[in-house]
Amino acid sequence: MRGIPGGLSRRIAVIALVVGWTPTDARPEVVVFAEGGSAQLPAEVDGRTVRLDGPEGPVEFLREDFLAIEPGHWPEDDWPGLRDRALTGDAEGRYRAAWWALERGLTPEAVAMLRSAHERHPSFRPVAHLVSVLDLLDRPAAGPDLSSLRDVLPGRPFSVSESGRIVLLHQHDDARAADRLELLDRVMTTFYLTFSAQGFRLQVPPEKLVVVWFAEEADYLDYIRSEAGESFLTTRGYYHPTRRVVFVTTPRSRADESRRQAARFARLRELDRAEAALDSVPPGARFRLELSGERPRVLDRDAASRVISRLRREARREDLLQDLDRRHSEGAAAVHELVHQLVVASGLAPAYHRFPVWLHEGIAMQFEAFRGGRWAGLAAIPPHRLDQWRSLRSAPPIEPILRDEGFGAGYVADRYAAAWALVWFLRSEEPARFASYLDRLRNPSGLAASGAGGGAVSSFRAAMGTDLDGLRSRWAGRMSGLETPLDSATTEPKPD
């Protein structure tokens, strides 16, 4: 960017057209289980049978297993109709459709629409600009020298998987590594398109970015202890600002995962044995059903069969919810740290210290939402961040946040909640001023020339105004009504 005033005036016009950086409602289908837990997944109801489209494939339940099934919008299902309508329209319609997809995590679909719009309307400048960014991202990047990094990594050897822009050192199977790379590429493309659409001129690094993915949390903690210190041992991911490498781990070790799987298989074998024994019971006879966690009962064949079926569905429910939780926990940490890496690698922050810590963290947390085990894009709200925000008694004063009070010494939930909420509010309610604030941090010479002063607080006041108490009041009011789809789902049973 050149000077702030000229760059900002151009950007305001772009913001008026782009719907990508401003959050919008994106409500997928929501199911609330009778035995506890809820999820955002497509659901197909066929009489008494309910099939959920889980990350590993369809999972079948009965209608009685749910308190509620709230129909809504699942972007993957809505996209084909929206795409087809956009393809019959003009360049602006295709552009808006692309941003609809991008906001909801459908990055490949957004990219395809942008390229289609450019092919049909090459003179439409917003699309031409973003296609030029995509072309830069498509250029092959050089592979970095990993020898010095490998020398300091603890634990068992690392395999290498890579895409056009990212190298992943990992201790997982090839399928999981491929899924992780696809996620990281999706987020990277979204990051570049989002900030480029606001007028920021981002650089594409000549070398591939490096991400290290540990299988064992203990090995990750050994590395963090030696490289970052004790205060970061509560983290699951760390961006090393000197090495410019991301380090992440899994939320549970291989041993923990093995124990969980063993318990699941033991339960299913127990149910198999009970079912086999039930098959040998003569018609009209009574059957003594003894299962772990259940009181012994003497039942007829039909009643015993219903109990066994219910427990099988209960095992499916627990497995599905645990899988969704694992995917969100692992994915959010990986995405969060990648965004830290991208903020510096792209030059959005010309150097790490140009942005205060709260802003680094606040931007990274905007990308953390997952929907049904899949990355959900910037339009969705991460439920765990909203829960952390709600645990605060009130919106904290803004100036201590701007001064990074409470940041920089590991993970502190309430500080992170405030940073997430403040960035969410600014990007949704004050996108042009928020962009101006980033500009002022990025261009200290421009600040000096305009007499605005330096520093995170003075830059913020110059961009947002001096009435921080008034801004805090508006912030608190906006956040008070914020909900996720899981919040708004009713818990009243639906009639069959």
Confidence (pLDDT) at 158: 95
Give CA 10 to chain center in angstroms.
30
The H-or-E segment that residue 403 falls in is: none
Token pair recorded at residue 420: 């997430």
DSSP annotation of 29 = -
Per-residue pLDDT, 233: 76
What angle in degrees, to the nearest 10, is found between the helix axes of 357-365 and 413-429? 70
DSSP 245: E
In the predicted structure, residue 4 carries a pLDDT above the cut 60: no
The per-residue pLDDT of the chain, averaged, comes to: 87
pLDDT at 15: 40
Sheet holding 57-62, edge to edge: 43-46, 49-54, 57-62
- Per cent of the chain over pLDDT 90 is 67
Q: Which of 17-21, 332-336, 346-350, 471-475 has the lowest mean pLDDT?
A: 17-21
pLDDT at 254: 63
- What is the pairing mode between strands 159-162 and 374-375? unpaired
Each residue's pLDDT tens digit, 430-468: 999 999 999 999 986 644 333 333 478 999 999 999 999
Given this model, what pLDDT does residue 255 score?
Answer: 67
pLDDT of residue 472: 97
Three-class secondary structure of residue 43 per DSSP: strand
The position carrying tokens 């506890």 is 36
Tell me: pLDDT of 9 over 90: no
List, for residues 231-280, the tens digit of each pLDDT value. Answer: 777 778 899 988 999 999 987 666 677 787 888 888 889 998 988 989 88
Q: Is the CB of residue 150 less than 8 Å from the CB of residue 167?
A: no
Distance CA 183, CA 68 (A): 31
Residue among 109, 130, 90, 101 at smallest CA distance from 24: 101
Q: What is the pLDDT of residue 490?
A: 53
Closest CA to 402 of 352, 441, 448, 446: 441
**Region of 349 on the Ramachandran plot (φ > 0 left; ψ -120 to 50 alpha; else beta):** beta
Residues 6+ away with beta carbon under 8 Å from 279: none
CB atoms within 10 A of CB 447: 20
pTM for the full predicted model: 0.88
Statement: residue 187 has pLDDT above 70: yes
User: Rg of the chain over CA atoms, in angstroms?
Assistant: 25
Whether residue 411 is predicted with pLDDT greater than 70 in this model: the reply is yes
Contact predicate 461/402, CB 8 Å: no
Local confidence band at 385 (pLDDT 50, 70, 90 cut-offs): very high
Strands 286-289 and 297-300: antiparallel
Q: What is the pLDDT of residue 155?
A: 80
* DSSP per-residue letters across 293-328: TS--EEEEHHHHHHHHHHHHHHHHHHHHHHHHHHHH
Confidence band, pLDDT 50/70/90 cuts, at residue 396: very high
Q: Do residues 322 and 260 lie in contact, with contact meaning Cβ atoms separated by under 8 Å? A: yes
Domain map (residue ranges) of the chain:
30-138, 146-348, 365-496
Average pLDDT of the residues in 409-424? 90
Q: Tens digit of pLDDT for each residue in 300-359?
A: 988 999 999 999 999 999 999 999 999 999 999 999 999 999 999 999 999 999 999 999
Q: Which of 202-211, 234-243, 415-424 has the lowest mean pLDDT?
A: 234-243
Percentage of the residues of the chain whose pLDDT score is greater than 70: 89
Residue 22 pLDDT greater than 70, yes or no:
no
Please tell me the predicted confidence (pLDDT) of residue 283.
Answer: 84
For residue 409, what pLDDT is reported? 67
